[in-house]
Amino acid sequence: MKATISVILLVVAIHVASAQGAGIGIKGGLNFPGMDALGEDPTQVTASAVDKSSGFHLGFFARVRLAKIGIQPEVLYSFTSIEFGARDLLTATDYNVEQKLGYLTVPIILKWYTVAGINLQAGPQFGFILDGDQTSDITGAKTTTQIKDGLNGTDIGLNLGAGIDLPFGLDIHGRYILGITDVNDVPGTEASRNSMFQVSLGYAFVDIGR
């Protein structure tokens, strides 16, 4: 057992020693989501296309680079607000809906470096629902309900994007997050998936060997 642990520690030490760059930092940016209605009774409500969407993300990242390959795990709080039109099929009433969702997300990003710090990015993302509510505005009367219980606790997506590592520990990147799993947990509802564009700015307050 001691010999096995020693070998593992030696391998880790060799990889760390051969790393061309490593860093720990903070990042934040904007979300541009798109998603269908959540937690609605499909016999009563139909949703139109998204009218307005916005959001933000904020958190921490760690980065290790080996030659042209890097890995960057992150822990982020991600918030989205989505507004769309809906119709009650029983009363033929049109109204507006706004959904606000908060997730703890854990992207694990593989980065392939080309030239001058420019890199292509891809990797899975694991999300965990923290809060969710929905406000319906029918002829000026607003009603807010919690929809967290109607959502799956976990959400899996795929990140695809590109970025550039800048001097002074800064980096800028953009990603498209493709939702893979159904976030609805209400029987009889259509599948809905979280998908969005993200634009981020990061700053490594610990930055070694970039």
pLDDT in tens, the chain (210 residues): 455 545 444 444 444 444 567 899 999 999 998 754 444 444 344 445 556 778 999 999 999 988 889 999 999 999 998 887 776 667 767 778 888 999 999 999 999 999 988 999 999 999 999 999 988 887 777 888 888 888 889 999 999 999 999 988 899 999 999 999 888 766 556 667 888 999 999 999 988 866
Is 95 inside a domain boundary?
Answer: yes
Provide the domain limits for residue 163. Answer: 21-208
pLDDT value of residue 6: 55
Question: Pairing state of beta strands 118-138 and 141-146?
Answer: antiparallel
Report the CATH number at residue 39: 2.40.160.20
Q: How far apart are CA 59 and CA 195, in angstroms?
A: 19
pLDDT value of residue 139: 72
Instruction: Map tokens 């490593």 to a residue.
Output: 22
DSSP 23-87: EEEEEEEEEEEE----S--TTTEEEEEEEEEEEEEEEEEEEEEETTEEEEEEEEEEEEEEEEEEE
Residue type, 101: L
Is 108 inside a domain boundary?
Answer: yes
Is 14 inside a domain boundary?
Answer: no
Is 10 inside a domain boundary?
Answer: no
Is 6 inside a domain boundary?
Answer: no
> How many domains are there within the chain?
1
pLDDT value of residue 151: 86
Is 2 inside a domain boundary?
Answer: no
Tally of CB atoms within 10 A around 106: 15
Is 72 inside a domain boundary?
Answer: yes
Is 49 inside a domain boundary?
Answer: yes
pLDDT value of residue 5: 47
pLDDT value of residue 14: 46
Beta carbons of 136 and 88 less than 8 angstroms apart? no
Please list, in sequence order, all residues whose beta carbon lies within 8 angstroms of the beta carbon of residue 43, skipping any fewer than 6 positions away. 89
